[in-house]
Structure 1
Amino acid sequence: MRDIAIILYFLALVPMILRWPFLGILGWSVVSYMNPHQLGWAYTESLPFAMLVGLATIFAFVIQPGRKSIPLQPLTILLAVFFGYTTLTTLFAVAPTAATSKYVEFFKIMLMTFLTIPLMASRERIHALVWVIVLGVGFYGVKGGIFTLITGGDHRVWGPPHTVIADNNQLATALIMLLPLVRYLHLQTADKWVRYGLLLAMVFIGVSIVGSYSRGAFLACFACLTWMFLKSRHKLPVFMLGLGLVVFMLFLMPDQWFSRMQSIEDYASDPSVQGRFDAWTYALRLAEIRPLIGGGFAPNYNEELFMTLVPDAFKVRSFHSIYFEVLGEHGWPGLILFLTIGVTGLVTAQRIAAQTRDRPDLTWAHDLASMVQVSLVGFAVGGTFLNLSNFDLYYHILILLVLTRVVIAPDLAKAPEPFRTRPATAGGGAALPGSAAS
C-alpha cells in the first residue's frame, strides 16, 4: 500500500505541475530531500521519480507564457561560471566514466537550481520552498532524534539509504544546515501550536545530530548554534536549545559516544583520519601536476594514479572534504571559484540583513538572510570533513538569497511607510514604534 500511495502521489503531481510549473520545484525538492520513494517496501526505490518531476517541470516552464530570465547577480554569475568550469574539467578527467556520471548528476542539480529562480520569485513561494525543505530533511532529523532518545544513544542515526545523506556524517551536516531554516519558520509563524511544533522539531533535530556520532558535525553544530544565537532576533530559544544539547550529551549519551568524540584529539592513531590525510595529499599532488583543470570529477576512481601519487597510502580513499574534493577535481581555479561562491553567499546574506534591519515590512527577509548565513557557516564547517561539494541543498540555500534579493528589490526602492510615535509619557517612558499618536 505504501508503494502504491507514493506512485499515485507522483502521478497526480505531474498534471498539477503542467498547470502550475512552480509546483515542479516543490515536488522535485520533496524527491531530493525527503526521498519518499526510499520509504517504500517494494519497487518504488528504483523508479525514476526525480526524472519524471524534472522533465514535467522543464516542459511546463518552456511552454509557460511570459518573460523568463535569470537575474545577473554575483551569485548567479559565479554559479554559472563554476558549472561551466566543471564542464571543462570533465572533458579532461582522469577517470572519464566516473567523472561523466558525477557530472550528469551535477548538471541536473544546477539545472533545477537555476529553474528555481524564475519559478519561485515571490515571498509566498520562497516560504513554501523553505517549508518543503524543512519537512523533507527534518523528517529524518525528528525521526533520528526520537530514535536516539528511545535507544539512549546506543546506536548511530543514519539517513535514507541510496541517497546523498545516507551516511551518518552527511545526514548530520544536512541537519545542521537545516536548523537555521527551522528557526526562520519559527520566527515567521504566527500560530502558537505550529511554533511549539517547530521548537520541538529543533530539539529532536539537535538530538539527532548528537546521535549521529559524527565528530565533524559535533564541531559544526556548536559553530552553527553560536552563529545562530548571534543572528537571532530572539536569542532565548537558541540558548535553551544549545544548553539542552549540552545537558543531553553530558548525562544521557553512553560512554562509546564520548570515546568517539575524544578520538578527535588522538587523530594520529585514527586510521579513518589518516585515510583522509592520504586523500588530501592526493588532491594536493594532483593539483601540482594538473593545476588548472585538476583530475575532473571523481579522480579517486583512478586507483593507479592515486597509488602513484600517494605510494604510502594503505588504500584509495574519498576526499572527505569539500575543499580538497573541489581542488582535486577542478584544480586551483575551481577551488577559488567554489570558495568565492561561499564567501559571496555570506556577504549577500549580510547585505540583505543590513538593508532590511530597520524595515518592519521586510522582517521576513531579514530573518531569512540571517538564518541562511548560519546555514552557510554550518556547511562551511561541516563540509571540511565530507564529500558534499555537489550537495543540492547547499545550492538551493544560495538561491534563496538570489530570490530574496529579487523579491525585496521593489520594496527597497521605495521609502518605508512612516511610523508614528506616541509622545513620551509623564513618567518619561519612550513611545513604542508604530503606536498611534495619542
Structure 2
Amino acid sequence: MRDIALFVLIFSLLPFVFTRPFLGVLMFIWVSLMNPHRLTYGAAYDFPFAALIVVITLISLLASKQPKKFPVTPAVVVLLIFIGWMNLTTFSALEPVRAWTEWNRVMKTMFLLMVVLVSVNTKKEIQALAWTIGLSIGFWGLKGGIFTLTSGGGSNVYGPDGSYIADNNALALALVTALPIIWYTQLTVKYRIIRYGLMALSIICLVSAVGSYSRGALLGGGCMLIFLWLKSRQKIRTGLILLLIVPLIYTVMPDKWFDRMNTIDDYKQDASAQGRINAWGFAVNVAENNLMGGGYDCFTHKMFAVYAPNPYDQHAAHSIYFQVLGEHGFVGLGLFLLFIWMAWRSGTKIIKHCKGRDDLKWASDLAAMCQVSIIGYAIGGAFLTLAYYDLFYDVVGLLILLEKVLLSNKLEPREPEAASLELNPAASQSQLNTPDRA
C-alpha cells in the first residue's frame, strides 16, 4: 500500500515539473533528504525516483523561458575549485575502484546543487526550499523523537537504510544541522497553532538527536543551541524553550545514556575514541606522503597497513576534516575549510544587507539560521564521516541563493518615501488626496 501511494504521489506531480522546473527541485530535495522510498517494502524501495525527477527537471529547465542566472559568489567560486581538485585527486586515488564509485555519488550531489542555484530565483522559492529541507529531515526527527519518548531512550535511533543518515551518529548530525532551518519555518507563519507545532517539532528533533546516543551530536548540538539563542531575535522566549529541554532529557534518558556521554572525558580508555585517533593519524600520514591525498574512500584495511600508526585498527575517518585531509590532501582540506568560511561570510553579508529593513527580516532570519546550521555541522562533523552530505550543501545553497536574489535588482532597497507610504496606507491615502500647495 505504501508503494502504491508513493508511486501515485510522485507520478501525479511529475507532469507539473514540465511547466515548473522549480517543483522538480523541491521533489528532488525531498526524495534525497527524506528518502520516502525507504519507508516502503516493495517495488518503490529501490525505484530510481531521484534520477527520474532530475531528468525531467533538466528537460523542463532547458525548455523554460525563465531566467537562468548562475550566481558567482565567493562561496561558489571556492566550491567550484574544490570540485575541480576532487576530480584531480580521483585520477591518482590509492583505491581507484572505490574512489570512482564515491566520485559518482559526490559529483551527482554537486551537479544537482548547481541545478538548484540556477532554478531558484524568488523569495517564495527560497522559502519553499527552506521548508522542504527542514521538514524532510524533520520527519525522521519526529519519528525518532517519538520512539525515544515512548521507549524511555533505551535504544538508539537510526535513519533510513541505504542513505547517508542510516547510521545513528549520521542521523544525529543531520538533525543538529536541520534543526535551525526547522526553527526558521516557525518564524514565517502567522497561525499560532502551526507556529507552536513547528516549535514542538524542533524540540522533538533535538530529543531524537539525543536518543541517537551520539557523543559528537551532543557537542555539536550544544554549540548549535548556544548560537541559536545568540542569533534569535526573541531571546527570552527562545531561551525559555531551550531551558525546558534540559529537564526533559534528564527525565527521559536512562542511566546508560549518561554513562556513554561521560566517556567523552575518558577518550584514552575508550576503544572507539582510540580507533578514531588512529584513523586521524592515518589521514595525516596519507596527506604528508601524497600531495593529492589518497582519493575518495581510501580508509581501507589495505591502506591502513601502509599508513596508519596502528595498521591493525582500521576505522572510517570519523571526521569531515580528516576525511577530506586523507582523501584530498592538505590542499583539499584548505579548500574545504575556505568554503565553510565563505559560506559563513555570505550569511554575515546578507544580515548586514538586511539590517534595518523590516521587509527583509525573513532573509535575515534565514541567513542567521543557516549560520547556526553551519556551526552544528562544523562541530558535530568533527567526529563523523559526512564531508559530502547533501544537507550541508543545501543549507549553504540557501545562503548563496539569498545573495543571488537580494543583491540583484529584484529586491533593491526601496525609496524611503515609498516604504513609509506602504507601511502606513492611511497616511499614503491622505497624502494622495491632499492638493499640491505649490
Write the deviation string for residues 2-60 of structure 1: whole angstroms up to 9, x where unpaired: 11111222222322211211111101011111101000022322111111111111222
Give the AA of the match of 2:106.
Answer: F
Aligned mates of 2:142, 2:315 — CA distance in 1:
32
Pair 1:412–1:27, CA change in 2 (3 A): closer
Asked if structure 2 preserves the Cα contact closer than 8 Å seen for 1:420 and 1:436, the reply is no
What is the CA-CA distance between 1:240 and the residue it aligns to? 2.5
What is the CA-CA distance between 1:435 and the residue it aligns to? 10
May I ask how many residue pairs the two structures share in their alignment? 425
Written as runs of structure 1 = structure 2, the 5 A alignment for 1:116-265 is 116-265=116-265
What is the CA-CA distance between 1:376 and the residue it aligns to? 0.5
Pair 1:436–1:222, CA change in 2 (3 A): farther
What is the CA-CA distance between 1:415 and the residue it aligns to? 4.3
Asked if structure 1 preserves the Cα contact closer than 8 Å seen for 2:278 and 2:309, the reply is no
Asked if structure 2 preserves the Cα contact closer than 8 Å seen for 1:275 and 1:313, the reply is no
Aligned mates of 1:213, 1:420 — CA distance in 2:
52
Written as runs of structure 1 = structure 2, the 5 A alignment for 1:1-400 is 1-291=1-291, 293-301=292-300, 303-310=301-308, 312-400=310-398
What is the CA-CA distance between 1:84 and the residue it aligns to? 0.9
Give the AA of the match of 2:49.
Answer: F
Write the deviation string for residues 290-312 of structure 1: whole angstroms up to 9, x where unpaired: 12x111111113x2221121252
Extract unaligned runs of 5+ from structure 1. 422-432
Partner of 1:427: none
Write the deviation string for residues 72-114 of structure 1: whole angstroms up to 9, x where unpaired: 1111111111111111111111111111111111111111101
Write the deviation string for residues 229-269 of structure 1: whole angstroms up to 9, x where unpaired: 00011123421232122112223311100000001111111
Aligned mates of 1:125, 1:25 — CA distance in 2:
10
Pair 1:241–1:161, CA change in 2 (3 A): farther
Aligned mates of 2:156, 2:397 — CA distance in 1:
32
Aligned mates of 2:424, 2:296 — CA distance in 1:
55
Extract unaligned runs of 5+ from structure 2. 431-438
What is the CA-CA distance between 1:69 and the residue it aligns to? 3.1
Asked if structure 2 preserves the Cα contact closer than 8 Å seen for 1:356 and 1:362, the reply is yes
Aligned mates of 1:140, 1:363 — CA distance in 2:
29
- Calculate percent identity across the aligned residue pairs: 39
Write the deviation string for residues 160-205 of structure 1: whole angstroms up to 9, x where unpaired: 1111011111111111111111121111111111101101111111
Output the aligned Cα RMSD. Answer: 1.8
Pair 1:434–1:172, CA change in 2 (3 A): farther
Give the AA of the match of 1:306.
Answer: F
Asked if structure 2 preserves the Cα contact closer than 8 Å seen for 1:98 and 1:297, the reply is yes
> Given the two structures, how large is their TM-score scaled by the length of structure 2?
0.93
Asked if structure 2 preserves the Cα contact closer than 8 Å seen for 1:326 and 1:335, the reply is yes
Asked if structure 2 preserves the Cα contact closer than 8 Å seen for 1:225 and 1:238, the reply is no
Aligned mates of 1:436, 1:60 — CA distance in 2:
44
Asked if structure 2 preserves the Cα contact closer than 8 Å seen for 1:372 and 1:397, the reply is yes
Name segments (4+ residues, structure 1) moved above 3 Å: 411-421, 433-438
